[in-house]
Amino acid sequence: MSLRYALLQVLQASPMNGYRLARFFAGAQSWVWSAPQSQVYGALGKLREAGLVAGTPRPGENGLSTADYALTPAGEADLLAWLSTAHPEPPVRDAVALQALGFDTVPTGRAVAVLRAHIAEQEARLAEWTEHRAALLRRDTPLLRERLKGQPPAAHRRIAEVKAMVFEREIDLARAQISWAHRMIALLEGLEPAPAGAPGDAGAAVASTAPPERLA
Amino acid sequence: MSLRYALLQVLQASPMNGYRLARFFAGAQSWVWSAPQSQVYGALGKLREAGLVAGTPRPGENGLSTADYALTPAGEADLLAWLSTAHPEPPVRDAVALQALGFDTVPTGRAVAVLRAHIAEQEARLAEWTEHRAALLRRDTPLLRERLKGQPPAAHRRIAEVKAMVFEREIDLARAQISWAHRMIALLEGLEPAPAGAPGDAGAAVASTAPPERLA
């Protein structure tokens, strides 16, 4: 359901064909929603059937014709209604937390390695969000440039600042996860290791990855 | 994929039948993973076929027989391998951020109402996480009591503190979202409203929900 409104928002900023839209969502590492190509084509087809977007044919590559899709008045109204209404939040499905719940059964060194990979991933995202937020405030992302073209100059500041604030959310969430992972590492390294016989104690070969001074 | 390991972790703590397992995941508002009943039965069936869990038959209600599922040695090994390995993080799909990206096109009053609903939802989750974390530190959740029964007393502190730290993550993420939503409200209320003719300006009936002093 959210993908439909992700598509409508992108097409509202910049009409594009299915190929470019699918590429946007497949490569949307620093955007707030990503989707595989097949889902994007499927959702675009449904939007067209529902009359929420309409294509303007134009010559494509290799002599084939293509169509750039833009919102119809019905599509604009549907998007505005969705944006203006509170929706139930999705149920919690936190894969990192799910894995960490079992760290009491894992040799400390292995758990710490998993947490360090999590920190690296979140730091990479944090760098991307930070750059994307700065680009929005400079009014200098491809999508924002397209969107601003159709808007009166008096509206530009509001548009750029609201969108930049959304990426502040992603920055905050990445920072919270990095901070938490460091605290989890400190906790694991400060606790007594799992005693022999506990789940996860797979014998000396595995136990030897725990810090030796904690075996006492 | 994560659901499979969510099931294995719960069944490792406490063998249960499919009905009780499905109820756990359907009502898991203050746990880190939730799933509808059909998904839980499907995943449990696959774990059984793969030999990762095995059922011990016992008399159920109404004279029917049922079976409590527990991990086989292969299931224990599979869970430990998953817990000990870093996995790619899921792609970003942040429905709240997706909606907020369009708030530049929405009357301020409507956007603020959506954000207040988000704050209320996150405050409710924050209260649940906080209580759950405290219960874990008291070693007093149903699942933790079951798990500790099978563990040597020397391991209890490590188990409880690691699990409590996972809920500290959820507490941090809820707090970050609440703080961000308040800042987004302040930003929207401090900015000039969308000028007439901008997307989302649906005429006087809608515009009148914006604070009157900002119409000047």
**Spatial distance between the Cα atoms of A8 and A71, rounded to a whole number of angstroms:** 7
Q: Output the pLDDT for position B30.
A: 62
Q: Which residues of A touch B98 (CB under 8 A)?
A: 2, 5-6, 9, 32-33
How big is the CA angle at B142 (ends B140 and B144), to the nearest 5 degrees?
65
Q: How many inter-chain contacts (A to B, CB under 8 Å) are there?
A: 252
Measured between CB atoms, which of A34, A79, A94 is closest to B93? A34
B68, β-bridge pairs: B56
- Kind and range of the H or E element at A69? strand A65-71
- Calculate what percentage of chain B has a pLDDT beyond 90: 73
Inter-chain residue contact B199 with A173, CB threshold 8 Å: no
Q: Which of B16, B163, B138, B126 is nearest to A99 (CA)?
A: B163
Q: Which residues of B touch A210 (CB under 8 A)?
A: none
Inter-chain residue contact A93 with B2, CB threshold 8 Å: yes
Measured between CB atoms, which of A29, A158, A176 is closest to B104? A158
User: What is the mean predicted confidence (pLDDT) over A64-82?
Assistant: 95
Inter-chain residue contact A104 with B162, CB threshold 8 Å: yes
Measured between CB atoms, which of A33, A86, A97 is closest to B93? A33
Give the burial class of A109: count Cβ atoms within 10 A of its Cβ; 0-12 exposed, 13-18 middle, 19 or more buried. Answer: middle
**Spatial distance between the Cα atoms of A91 and A169, rounded to a whole number of angstroms:** 19
Q: Output the pLDDT for position A198.
A: 52
**Spatial distance between the Cα atoms of B200 and A194, rounded to a whole number of angstroms:** 58
How do residues B79-97 score in pLDDT, each as one tens digit? 999 999 999 988 889 999 9
DSSP-derived secondary structure letter, B154: G
How big is the CA angle at A169 (ends B109 and B124), to the nearest 5 degrees?
70
Q: Which of A19, A22, A26, A23 is nearest to A64 (CA)?
A: A19
Q: Is the pLDDT of residue A202 over 70?
A: no
DSSP-derived secondary structure letter, A93: B
**Spatial distance between the Cα atoms of A65 and A52, rounded to a whole number of angstroms:** 21
Q: Give B62 to chain A, closest Cα distance, Å.
A: 33
Q: Give B61 to chain A, closest Cα distance, Å.
A: 31
Inter-chain residue contact B12 with A199, CB threshold 8 Å: yes
Low-confidence ranges of chain B (pLDDT < 70): 28-30, 194-216
Measured between CB atoms, which of B166, B194, B202 is closest to A158? B194
**Spatial distance between the Cα atoms of B143 and B14, rounded to a whole number of angstroms:** 7
SS (H, E, C) A177-204: HHHHHHHHHHHHHHCCCCCCCCCCCCCH
B93, β-bridge pairs: A33
Q: Is the pLDDT of residue A98 over 60?
A: yes
Residue type, position B12, single letter: Q
- The number of residues making up chain B comes to 216
Q: Which residues of B touch A95 (CB under 8 A)?
A: 2, 87, 89-90
Q: Is the pLDDT of residue A158 over 50?
A: yes
Under CATH, which number does the domain A2-83 receive? 1.10.10.10
Q: Where are the domains of chain B?
A: 2-83, 95-198
Q: Which residues of B touch A113 (CB under 8 A)?
A: 86
Task: Look at phi and psi of residue A123 and say left if phi exceeds 0, alpha if psi is from -120 to 50, else beta.
Answer: alpha
Inter-chain residue contact B34 with A117, CB threshold 8 Å: no
How do residues B192-210 score in pLDDT, each as one tens digit? 776 555 554 444 333 334 3
Inter-chain residue contact A162 with B199, CB threshold 8 Å: no
Contact A187, B163 (CB under 8 A): no
Residue A130 CA to its chain's centroid (Å): 14
Q: Is the pLDDT of residue A21 over 80?
A: yes
Tokens of B15: 């063998």
Q: What is the β-pairing status of strands B65-71 and B53-59?
A: antiparallel
Judged by average pLDDT, the poorest of A52-66, A90-104, B139-153 is A52-66
How do residues A114-154 score in pLDDT, each as one tens digit? 999 999 999 999 999 999 999 999 999 999 999 999 899 99
Q: Give B64 to chain A, closest Cα distance, Å.
A: 33
Inter-chain residue contact A94 with B188, CB threshold 8 Å: no
> Closest chain A residue to B12 measured between Cα atoms?
A199
DSSP codes, A120-182? HHHHHHHHHHHHHHHHHHTT-SHHHHHHHHTS-HHHHHHHHHHHHHHHHHHHHHHHHHHHHHH
- Kind and range of the H or E element at A59? strand A53-59
Q: For residue B195, how many other CB atoms are within 10 A of its CB?
A: 13
> Closest chain A residue to B191 measured between Cα atoms?
A158
Q: Is the pLDDT of residue A204 over 60?
A: no
Mapping DSSP to helix (H, G, I), strand (E, B) and coil, where does residue B191 land? coil
